[in-house]
């Protein structure tokens, strides 16, 4: 990834998608500051929104960021009462994309289904992922658990399992779709077929198209 620090100390980059997304997530969490339209002082997401309202211009697409020191970052994030499941999912996806495509110190993280031995540089992250239930350890190796499956499938790193639901359950799901209750239909598919949200919503789309053709 090509990146450089500008004269004001903000890190710019060459439009590497996972890095962009990681920056925006850190900005939302309050541990990154974006380069301002003018001046040298970084701005928070809330300040960017206020600026946009006053000037009629969206600052969401910030191009450069400054980041808090590690200890301060940890303290600010730990002070959050709740981090939404949506933001957590985005963080997982950005992390997996960055580490599998670009890695750390030229060492990529294995994202396959088989057990692997992570490079020592990943140890702190591996420990955290184990604590969160995304990895399990066996001796000196680790393996991804099914809990990470939806993020892996979202990135196309793992094949999604087939959506299989009994005929009676499918009839109930189709009734929900006809009634416009797409979220309830996706929730039912997720629990019955044991698939992630992305695949459940995709199956709702498939069923809806099939119903429209009838």
Render the burial of 103-118: b for 16+ CB within 10 Å, e for the rest: eeeeeebbbeeeeeeb
Give strand pairing partners of 51: none
pLDDT at 129: 97
**Rounded to whole angstroms, how far apart are CA atoms 142 and 117?**
6
For residue 102, report the phi and psi dihedrals to the nearest 5 degrees.
-115, -40
pLDDT at 22: 87
> Could you tell me which residue, 160 or 84, shows the higher pLDDT?
84
Q: For residue range 102-133, what is the model confidence (pLDDT) as tens digits?
A: 899 889 999 999 999 999 999 999 999 999 99
Q: Which residues 6+ apart lie within 8 Å of 167 measured at CB?
A: none
Mean pLDDT of 127-144: 96
Mean pLDDT of 179-201: 86
Q: Does the pLDDT of residue 58 top 90, yes or no? A: no
Number of helices (H) and strands (E), helices first, in the chain? 9, 6
Mean pLDDT of 30-56: 80
Q: Which CATH code for domain 85-154? A: 1.10.10
For residue 159, report the phi and psi dihedrals to the nearest 5 degrees.
-75, 135
This prediction's pTM: 0.69
Q: For residue range 172-185, what is the model confidence (pLDDT) as tens digits?
A: 999 999 999 998 99
The domain ranges of the chain are 3-78, 85-154, 167-213
Q: Which residues 6+ apart lie within 8 Å of 94 measured at CB?
A: 18, 21, 22, 25
């Amino acid at each position: 990834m090509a990146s450089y620090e500008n004269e004001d100390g903000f890190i710019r980059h060459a439009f590497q998608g996972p890095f962009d997304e990681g920056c925006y997530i850190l900005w939302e969490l309050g541990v990154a500051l974006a380069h301002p339209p003018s001046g040298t002082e970084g701005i928070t997401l809330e300040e960017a929104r206020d600026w946009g309202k006053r000037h009629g211009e969206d600052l969401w697409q910030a191009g450069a960021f400054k980041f808090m020191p590690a200890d301060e970052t940890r303290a600010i994030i730990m002070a959050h009462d709740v981090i939404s499941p949506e933001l957590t999912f985005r963080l997982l996806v950005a992390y997996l994309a960055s580490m599998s495509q670009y890695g750390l110190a030229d060492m990529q993280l294995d994202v396959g289904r088989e057990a692997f031995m992570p490079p020592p540089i990943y140890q702190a992250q591996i420990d955290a992922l184990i604590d969160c239930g995304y990895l399990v350890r066996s001796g000196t190796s680790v393996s991804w658990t099914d809990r990470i499956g939806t993020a892996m499938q979202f990135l196309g790193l793992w094949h999604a399992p087939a959506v299989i639901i009994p005929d009676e359950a499918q009839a109930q799901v189709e009734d929900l779709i006809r009634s416009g209750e797409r979220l309830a239909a996706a929730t039912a598919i997720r629990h019955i077929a044991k698939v992630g949200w992305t695949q459940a919503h995709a199956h709702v789309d498939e069923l809806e198209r099939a119903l429209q053709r009838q």
